[in-house]
Chain A
Amino acid sequence: MKRGVDWRRPRERSWLLFVTAVVLAVLAVVVARWRGPSWALAAVAAVAAAAGVIQGRLQERAKAEDRQQQLLAQFAITEGGRGERLPLVGEVDDPALRVHRAQVSVPYLRRDAEQELVAALLARDPVLVVGSSMAGKTRMAAEVLRTCYGDWPMLVPQGAKALAGLLAGGALLTHRVPPTGAAGLRRSRLPTAGPGGGEHGLPTRLPPLRTRQHDHHE
């Protein structure tokens, strides 16, 4: 299957930066040997200056994204275990979403609170789901995530220390993260879900946390 060129991937990005640098060098030579009218020289110099600024920004952004990718590849569970990409939400199973295993496998029964949960997520509000043990709190959250964010990459820390590493590195703070590569997260849009039924941009997702209670059950 033919894949499109993604300039945010490290290899393509390196080529882009290289080509930009070459263009800048050519412009510098042109400016140095220019014998035409002065206004044209000024225009070329302005273009070169603008390109230089853009080149610098691109380099900074590339470094930040590389750092982020290294962090995620080091601390997050990736598909195939080789840091190629994060698994999608729709691909991860219940244990990865911290849903306790039931003694008997049962189909999911939709909860009345699901609509409220979706609405809160659309509003970017935090949601606290409380209730008695085994009432289906985490299962409901997992099902809503699968329904609404099934095509989003899922960031699952490899453990408590990995989560600390991600936090220290600021991996969970940025709202913009690379879409592909070793460990990218992609901003996406919801499929039609929620009371409004429309599409809404959403912030960066967070990994599920392994709670003390979960460890106790395990």
Chain B
Amino acid sequence: MVFQLVSRRYERGSMIITSNKSFTEWGGVLGDDVLATAILDRLLHHCDVLSINGPSYRLKDRFLTPGGTA
């Protein structure tokens, strides 16, 4: 399903995908290494990879609230 979607949208328009898995783990998530490679191949061809790291924003705000347990 994901492959079909990515494949059909390939070079047609924008698309946002969020993931907390590294590329090497995509095969395990999708259940097929070959399929994951094909998806990544299409995605990464023109893709902008944005990396967001750091502590959880939810927890960060939780700790900033007066009643928060920091």
Listed in ascending order, the chain A residues whose CB lies under 8 Å from chain B are 102-104, 106-107, 109, 111, 113, 116-117, 119-121, 123-141, 145, 160, 163-164, 167, 172-173, 175, 202-204, 206, 209, 211-213
- Whether the pair A128, B61 counts as a contact (CB closer than 8 A) is no
B42 → A minimal CB distance (Å): 8
Report the minimal beta-carbon distance from A169 to chain B, rounded to whole angstroms: 12
Task: Report A7 CB to chain B, min CB distance, Å.
Answer: 26
B27 CB to closest chain A CB, in angstroms?
Answer: 13
Are B59 and A134 neighbours in the complex by a CB distance under 8 Å? Answer: yes
Q: Looking across the interface, which residue of chain A has its beta carbon closest to that of B20?
A: A133
Q: Which residues of B contact A160 (CB under 8 A)?
A: 1
Chain B residues positioned under 8 Å from A130 (CB to CB): 18-22, 49-52
Q: With a 10 A CB-CB cut-off, give which of A106, A116, A204 has the most chain B CB atoms.
A: A106
Query: Judging by beta carbons under 8 Å apart, are A127 and B17 in contact?
Result: yes
The 9 closest A-B CB pairs, nearest first, are A203-B13, A131-B52, A134-B56, A106-B61, A137-B18, A120-B48, A102-B58, A126-B15, A136-B57
Chain B's interface size range is 35 or more
Could you tell me the distance in whole angstroms from the C-beta of B61 to the nearest C-beta in chain A? Answer: 4
Beyond A128-B17, A172-B5, list 5 extra A-B contacts (CB 8 Å): A104-B61, A109-B61, A111-B52, A134-B57, A163-B1
Cα(A141)–Cα(B14), bound, Å: 13
| Bound-complex Cα distance A130 to B44 (A) | 13
Name the contact of A127 in the complex, choosing from B12, B21, B47, B55 (C-beta under 8 A): B47
Q: In the assembled complex, how far is the CB of residue A152 from the closest CB belonging to chain B, in whole angstroms? A: 12
Residues of B within 8 A of A167 (CB): 1, 4-5, 8
Report yes or no: A113 in contact with B1, Cβ–Cβ below 8 A: no
Task: State how many angstroms separate the Cβ of B33 from the closest Cβ of chain A.
Answer: 16
Chain B residues near A113 (CB, 8 Å)? Answer: 50-52
Contact of B49 among A121, A128, A135, A172 (CB under 8 A): A128
* Interchain Cβ contacts under 8 Å between A and B, 19 examples: A102-B58, A103-B58, A109-B57, A116-B48, A117-B50, A120-B48, A125-B46, A126-B17, A126-B47, A127-B14, A128-B17, A128-B18, A128-B43, A128-B44, A128-B47, A129-B18, A135-B54, A164-B1, A173-B12
Would you call B2 an interface residue if the criterion is a C-beta within 8 Å of the partner chain's C-beta atoms? yes
Check B1–A106 contact: CB distance below 8 A.
no
Specify which chain A residues have a CB less than 8 angstroms from the CB of B57 in the assembled complex: 106, 109, 134-136, 139
Indicate if the CB atoms of B53 and A135 lie closer than 8 Å: yes
From B18, B19, B56, residue with most partner A Cβ within 10 Å: B18
- Measured between beta carbons, the chain A residues less than 8 angstroms from B8 are 167, 172-173
